[in-house]
Chains A and B, each alone.
Chain A
Amino acid sequence: MNSMYPFLFLSFFMFVIGLGVMIARKNIIAMLLGIELILNASALNFVTYTRFVNQNLDGHIMSLFIIIIAAAEAAVGLAIVIRFFQVRESIHIDDAAQLQA
């Protein structure tokens, strides 16, 4: 692939879909899926610019740390969801209006 625009379009698409998921869904786990999409879109963007613009690997490092942060975020977020489910027996975001366990 000799053009960067297909990749930028892909990551833009993923970002937009992730945003849509976060707004449209009321299920907390589904919203976390949307966050994963958004984080992946940004990581893909970093790698794209690394290849097509400046060619040093700092973008790869950034993507690596984005992947790490996404994993940590998923772990903690899902732990909160599970805890919330234990307390309220619901994973609906509207039920989480006051987050006091």
Chain B
Amino acid sequence: MSSHNLDVYMPILILIGIGIALVFGAILFGKLIRPHNPSRLKEQAYECGEDPVGVAWSNFNVRFYVVSLIFIIFDVESALMFPVASVFKKFNEIGRGGIILCTFIVFVMILVSGVIYCWRKGDLDWVKSFHLNLDESSEKNTQEAS
């Protein structure tokens, strides 16, 4: 009977298979009935009617990376918090909830201190230059002078 329990993963595979088949099937089916007359202008990237200049794969601002960095730390912490959260009730019923609560709060607080650091340092500000102008204008002036 041990193999039967894996059957619960069947719907996932079937649904993923259906998804892939649907995408390819619809596009292949559409190939039979839709027009196909490409031209150079059609295949150009849309840039409001102008000829596109250069490639779009240029450098982006680092703030995107900082956001995703904080995200991944939270994501990993959530992977640790989920099993602890799901045994919280069980431990609470046998009277050991306090210990888990303390563990949990310490864990979250360490995480929060990191977020507070990033907040204070302005990593969570999307428009940082604006704040720099307001708060540290004197410092910025010296930078420009140097």
Which A residues have a C-beta under 8 Å from some C-beta of B? 64, 67-68, 71-72, 74-75, 78-79, 82, 86
Apart from A67-B79, A71-B72, A72-B73: 6 A-B pairs, beta carbons within 8 A: A64-B79, A68-B76, A68-B80, A75-B72, A75-B73, A82-B65
Q: Determine if B1 is an interface residue (Cβ-Cβ < 8 Å).
A: no
A-B pair count, CB < 8 Å, reads 23
Closest A residue by C-beta to B59: A85
The interface residues of chain B, by DSSP majority, are classed as helix
Contact (Cβ within 8 A) A71 B69: no
Name the one of A72, A78, A86 contacting B76, with C-beta atoms under 8 angstroms. A72
Q: 5 tightest CB-CB pairs across the interface, nearest first?
A: A71-B76, A68-B76, A75-B69, A71-B72, A75-B72
Chain A min CB distance to B141 (Å): 23
Query: A64–B69 contact, CB under 8 A?
Result: no
Q: How far is the CA of A14 from the CA of B104 in the complex (A)?
A: 35
CB distance B65 to A78 under 8 Å?
Answer: yes
Instruction: Check if B75 is an interface residue, CB within 8 A of chain A.
Output: yes
CB distance from B78 to the nearest CB of A (A): 11
Q: Is B56 an interface residue (CB 8 A)?
A: no
6 contacts between A and B (CB under 8 A): A68-B76, A68-B79, A71-B73, A71-B76, A72-B76, A75-B73
Docked complex Cα distance between A79 and B76 (Å):
17
Give a binary string over B66-97; 1 marks a CB under 8 Å from any A CB, 0 the rest.
00010011011001100000000000000000
CB-nearest residue of chain B to A68: B76
- Contact flags (1/0) for B95-118 with A, using CB distance below 8 Å? 000000000000000000000000
User: How many angstroms between the C-alpha atoms of A75 and B75 in the bound complex?
Assistant: 12
